[in-house]
Amino acid sequence: MLDENPSDRDARLFELIDGLVMQQRDGKTVDIEAICQTYSDLADDLRELWMTAMLAEDFGSCSEDLLVSPATMSGQFGLTDERRPTSSPLPRQVGDYEIVDELGRGGMGVVYKARQKSLGRTVALKMILQGDLASSVDRARFRSEAEAAATLQHPHIVPVYEVGEQDGRPFFSMKFIEGTTLAKRLIDGPLPPREAATLLLSIAKAIAEAHDRGLLHRDLKPSNILIDDEGRPFVTDFGLAKRWTVDDNTQIDQYAAASLTQSGAILGTPGYMAPEQAAGKRGNVSPLTDVYSLGALLYAMLTGRAPFQAASPVDTVLMVLEQDPLLPHVLNPKADRDLEMIALKCLQKPTDLRYVSAHALADDLAAYLANEPISARSSHFTQVISRAFRETHHAGILENWGMLWMLHAAVLLVLCLLTNWFQYREVTSRLPYFGLWTLGLGAWAAVFWNLRHRSGPVTFAERQIAHVWAGSMICSSGLFLIEMILQLPVLSLSPVLGLISAMVFLVKAGILTGGFYVQAMALFATAGVMAILQQPGMPHVGISIFGIVSALCFFVPGLKYYRQRTRAGL
């Protein structure tokens, strides 16, 4: 449907999404992949908008679960005692537990302060919120949280005492933590450096223990860190826990949420989640995902806010995927620079640039507290070179350009061969050359970006590349005007085309992937060869050589990312 009016296409697309969301709200199962096969011309946009719609639905219906005193719950949720949720009556007793008060509730569970009669102790009792109306996925996730936390025994993880069921409603009891949460502590602003390092050291050791037992947390955030009256932190809420099998490097869901994963749903809290988690089903979630979130916690303790925050969850996710966080000392001039380095190392978007494990992070925090050098400040020469030539977090957009770059390679080659043919035919008028390099190249640029828009929304990084490309086109066409002003023969300045193209690839290397330094060097060398071939008695084939080299510079990465996109099934 290439001839379809864009506005009609958008209307059809959003009408489809709206209908699918309504089906989801009515409790019907939506198979987004089957829908994409039916509407193949809208498949890419459907997947992207469905992921966004599900993210908005998720954050529109849930809040946070806490296991602290009523006063703390009210402060965290922004509720007074009069406005505390009362949608269901307070049960008097659940098994061996006598309910004392409601602490709070979220989208899936409700937490009570309770007294365990047989042992005479106060506990936190969590029950599934919807009871008999809870979906199988909600029940599985709730059961997963209880089972996951019950397998962990660590002084800084809230221990689970018992898992049971009352009138068809699963529940589990935990240690009741008298105190506050890290989220509430951060309301007053950043923490002192040593206090922040001490808190995170305990949390990192707790998460390292979870990883050693094959469990990922996947939802580390300030509201899931409880702090007792003695200042000791406790990790809680394993509702998004995921099994991790280190031996075969595979990931196994702890709860039966395959349908959510297949639809590309994003699970977690945007401001504190790693890019690979924000990428939905395409992300490779691993223990390093929790390492990122630990860094986000430290960032919050240094600055008083999450690394990324925007007007909506969707905007925050886009920031996580595309942008780098502000340096902590920009937000808080008093932020400790060593802790800043530790936080930023955790927050690297490429996973292999983070700490190799939560244990390694804990070791660096211990070194900081002992006034010893931290590893976050050390870099070997080979690491520097490796980082220079690696892909950035923007490199994923190249999958949108694979086929387009292969087409662009063909257009460039034809353009240069035609230019060289005019030169061979001894055409001295500037008009044919100027027409090829302005009207011809400009028309192709319009077609290029129109085709790109059909593949989905254009990202911030792509807009930057578009501006650089437009600038290079203006410079290329401007060479003919400069030649005319200087009264030089046509194509006298053609070697400059190699320099212009090389600079464009240098910019792409910085924004997208360091691999483009190779293309930049090749084009710099091509400019020199073109200059040599301008000498009297040399064959005038410089433009053709430039066309061949330029075409290869676009075709090779284009083919790579086209295949990568095809393998991903996009």
184/155 same-domain check: no
Q: Which pLDDT score is estimated for 63?
A: 34
Q: Which domain, by its residues, includes 45?
A: 6-61
- Give the Cα separation of 350 and 422 in Å (integer): 48
- Give the Cα separation of 309 and 313 in Å (integer): 8
330/458 same-domain check: no
419/303 same-domain check: no
3-class SS of residue 197: helix
Q: Which pLDDT score is estimated for 481?
A: 92
Name the token pair of 16. Answer: 């489809």
305/287 same-domain check: yes
Is residue 384 situated within a structural domain? Answer: no
336/420 same-domain check: no
- DSSP letter at 349 equals S
- Helix or strand (DSSP H, E) at 432: helix 430-435
Per-residue pLDDT, averaged over 168-179, amounts to 87
97/132 same-domain check: yes
Task: List, by residue number, the catalytic residues.
Answer: 219
151/195 same-domain check: no
- Give the Cα separation of 490 and 508 in Å (integer): 30
Q: Which pLDDT score is estimated for 264?
A: 37
Q: Which pLDDT score is estimated for 353?
A: 86
206/298 same-domain check: yes
Q: Which position has the higher pLDDT, 472 or 46?
A: 472
pLDDT, tens only, 525-549: 999 999 999 888 888 899 999 999 9
Q: Which of 175, 210, 232 is the last residue of a domain?
A: 175
- Determine which of 79-93, 114-128, 236-250, 256-270 has the lowest per-residue pLDDT on average: 256-270
294/423 same-domain check: no
Is residue 444 situated within a structural domain? Answer: yes
Q: Which of 344, 378, 412 is the last residue of a domain?
A: 378
Is residue 471 situated within a structural domain? Answer: yes
**Of 293, 288, 204, 305, residue with least CA distance to 246:** 288
Q: Which pLDDT score is estimated for 330?
A: 92
Is residue 79 situated within a structural domain? Answer: yes
Handedness of CA 319, 323, 328, 331 (dihedral sign): negative
| Predicted TM-score (pTM) of this structure | 0.64
% of the chain at pLDDT higher than 90: 40
- Give the Cα separation of 148 and 479 in Å (integer): 66
Residue 260 has pLDDT above 50, yes or no: no
170/183 same-domain check: no
Is residue 390 situated within a structural domain? Answer: no
pLDDT, tens only, 82-94: 334 444 566 788 8
Q: What is the mean pLDDT of the chain?
A: 80
The C-alpha angle with vertex 228 and arms to 227 and 233, in degrees rounded to 5, equals 40
Is residue 1 situated within a structural domain? Answer: no
Tell me the pLDDT band of 79, cut-offs 50, 70 and 90: very low
* CATH code where residue 147 lies: 3.30.200.20
56/131 same-domain check: no
403/477 same-domain check: yes
- Determine which of 50-54, 339-343, 357-361 has the lowest per-residue pLDDT on average: 50-54
Tell me the pLDDT band of 24, cut-offs 50, 70 and 90: low
Is residue 248 situated within a structural domain? Answer: yes
**Cβ atoms of residues 177 and 67 within 8 Å:** yes
Tell me the pLDDT band of 137, cut-offs 50, 70 and 90: low
Residue 266 has pLDDT above 60, yes or no: no
Per-residue pLDDT, averaged over 440-446, amounts to 89
Ramachandran angles phi, psi of 404, nearest 5°: -65, -40
Residue 338 has pLDDT above 60, yes or no: yes
Is residue 388 situated within a structural domain? Answer: no
CB atoms within 10 A of CB 514: 18
3-class SS of residue 347: coil
The number of distinct structural domains making up the chain is 4
- DSSP letter at 120 equals T
Tell me the pLDDT band of 68, cut-offs 50, 70 and 90: very low
Residue 246 has pLDDT above 60, yes or no: no
Q: Which of 378, 406, 438 is the last residue of a domain?
A: 378
Q: Which position has the higher pLDDT, 182 or 73?
A: 182
**Of 18, 64, 38, residue with least CA distance to 221:** 64
* CATH code where residue 369 lies: 1.10.510.10
Residue 139 has pLDDT above 90, yes or no: no
Q: What is the dihedral of CA 199, 205, 209, 212, to 10 degrees?
A: 140
